[in-house]
Amino acid sequence: MKIAVLIPCYNEEPTIAKVVSDFRRELPEADVYVYDNNSRDRTAEVAAAAGAIVRREPRQGKGNVVRSMFRGIDADVYVMVDGDDTYPAEFVHDLIAPIVRGEADMVIGDRHSNGSYTKENKRPFHNFGNNLVKWLINALFHSDLRDIMTGYRAFNRLFVKNMPVASEGFEIETEMTLHALDKKFRIVEIPIDYRDRPEGSFSKLNTFSDGMRVLRTVFWIFKDYKPLAFFSTAAIVFFVLGLLVGVPVITEFIATHQIAKIPSAILAVGFMMLASISVTCGFILDTIVRQHRDVYQLLLNKTE
């Protein structure tokens, strides 16, 4: 099988040579690609000197890099890993094994099962954000994944060539997980070790801005992938608001046979109309999404 190691990079000069060398040692038959994303240091030169195939992606953001990698590289097995030397290369054999055996479409390097991420990660809000997103997605898709946002993954060709990448930034990992869950791709999680960045290497993540982007991605995918649940939730909110505003009006009318609170009555009717419209939209969009899933599965059958 042809194996490709994909390393998206932005200002990773202190670590990229070690990452490339480690993966070339573990997978000597693989092609190691480093996609430089407008680095301001010598990332590209160092990666090329270490033996990587260097390409450039001018559109800033990890999602843009992943989109270019998925479109531009042909292989049977794909390994995606960050260039910051936080993921040990020796685990790559465990990750690609389910792909090679045909047991998985995407393999996730699980940092949480052995506690290494919580121990090594020096950003407590990241741990909180990861747990929150994990809870939301598992509740939404009735799954039991342990690591939603890991940057260490393996894929088969079917997944890579049928993954529509819409994200531009670090929310790409969340998008890949959601896509795999929604489209019923086979997912396997493999426990791995995680180590914090070495001294001299700095993270590009921003806890709050990147966290908000991930939550925004989950929100929109909730709307797009589970429209009936999304709009039913909105309908319940409008219905409860309508009751809160409308019950005093109804009580007053029963007691006096008159309506003095005209604005409240109009507002209550408006909330109830919004509730009924939300339910209707939910059913219509749910039918469209179900048809889209059927068409997607038929297209997958033709590409297999």
Distances (CA, A) of 257 to 215, 242, 254, 270: 49, 20, 6, 22
pLDDT score of 288: 93
Structure tokens at 3: 């194996």
From the list 102, 128, 299, 87, the residue with the least C-alpha distance to 211 is 128
Mean pLDDT of 273-285: 96
Where is average pLDDT lowest: 15-19, 143-147, 220-224?
A: 220-224
Q: How many residues does the chain have?
A: 304
Tell me which DSSP letter residue 90 carries. Answer: G
Pick the more confident residue, 224 or 10.
10
Where is average pLDDT lowest: 93-102, 165-174, 270-279?
A: 165-174
Please state, in angstroms and rounded to a whole number, the distance separating the CA atoms of residues 152 and 193.
Answer: 11
Please state, in angstroms and rounded to a whole number, the distance separating the CA atoms of residues 41 and 183.
Answer: 39
pLDDT score of 222: 81
pLDDT in tens, 180-204: 998 999 999 999 999 876 665 555 5
pLDDT in tens, 93-146: 999 999 999 999 999 999 988 876 766 565 555 667 677 888 888 988 899 999
Name the 3-class secondary structure at 48: helix
pLDDT score of 210: 60
From the list 69, 51, 92, the residue with the least C-alpha distance to 9 is 69
Name the 3-class secondary structure at 153: strand
pLDDT in tens, 44-87: 999 999 999 999 999 999 999 999 999 999 999 999 999 999 99
Q: DSSP per residue over 6-22, as a string?
A: EEEESS-TTTHHHHHHH
pLDDT score of 166: 85
pLDDT score of 278: 96
Mean pLDDT of 12-36: 96
